[in-house]
Structure 1
Amino acid sequence: MTEAEQMPVDADDGLNRLYRRYGDWLNRRLRARIGPDMAADVVQETYLKIAPYAAADIRHPKAFLWKVALNLVRDHHRKEIRRSSALEQFRPVVAESAPQVDQIMLGEIVASMPQLYRDVFVLSRFSGMTYPEIARTLAISVNTVERRMSGALEYCASRLDL
């Protein structure tokens, strides 16, 4: 079946059948572009994104899936750029505000922190962002920001023996 070939209008495939039919194809195409680990995640996200659509309404399934997947890849790339630029702001603030020994200890603790906690911690404590701003930047809920910040603070306290 070519990318532009239409599915029959009376096809009652459903999302599961669409996944079984095109999931491997989409994964292979994405692996060539973004690598195997991220490709698997994007395939999953693609099918979650198209879940609200009826399979019978999708006339060109490969083209539709490919477009949704590429949009997700672009979104991931944009988020990574925003996250990286926000984390870059962390370095000068620590250098100016902490004494040498404390700076080294804090840097080691933050560097060893799980990334989910680290991203929220750095954006809050060193970039001065509010929880709603962090939630928008990382595309997560405010409740998730609060849980991750709590985890980050517990992590710091455990490393500082508080």
Structure 2
Amino acid sequence: MSDTKQLGAEAQDGINRLYRRYAAWLDRRLRAHVDADAAADVVQETYIRAAPYALDDIRHPKAFLLKIALNLVRDESRREGRRRRDRESQRPPEAEAAPQFDQVLLEQVIRSMPQLYRDVFVLSRFGGMTYPEIAQSFGISVKTVEWRMSRALEYCASRLDL
């Protein structure tokens, strides 16, 4: 027994056209929020959620698809937050002190890092941007981004005694 419904030929054709036209664009947009595998999953789920809508009723397809996708990402983030809180509530308080100290130490190291290195490091590690995206945003070469990132990592390693 299945709770899914079959789409008519016209609706199926509409959703297929919508998918072919915007799936790659949506995947690229989502990679700023989630990793590549999760982005692909969200794109698929987005089209499943969009299937019941008539293509003629969608005036702004990109906005429509992006709204569905970002809602899916937020929902998953909330679920993960609840799971994490549940796991943490079962952990003894002593286990929390070491990671908090490490986080504060890393934050201090990043703040003391030279601006050139820090910008690249933060965008790559915390912003989820690729080296070519960072290079484009700063108007520099990918090689320069790689060089700055290696210097940032060296800086962190020397300050954290790694």
Q: TM-score, normalised by structure 1?
A: 0.47
Q: TM-score, normalised by structure 2?
A: 0.47
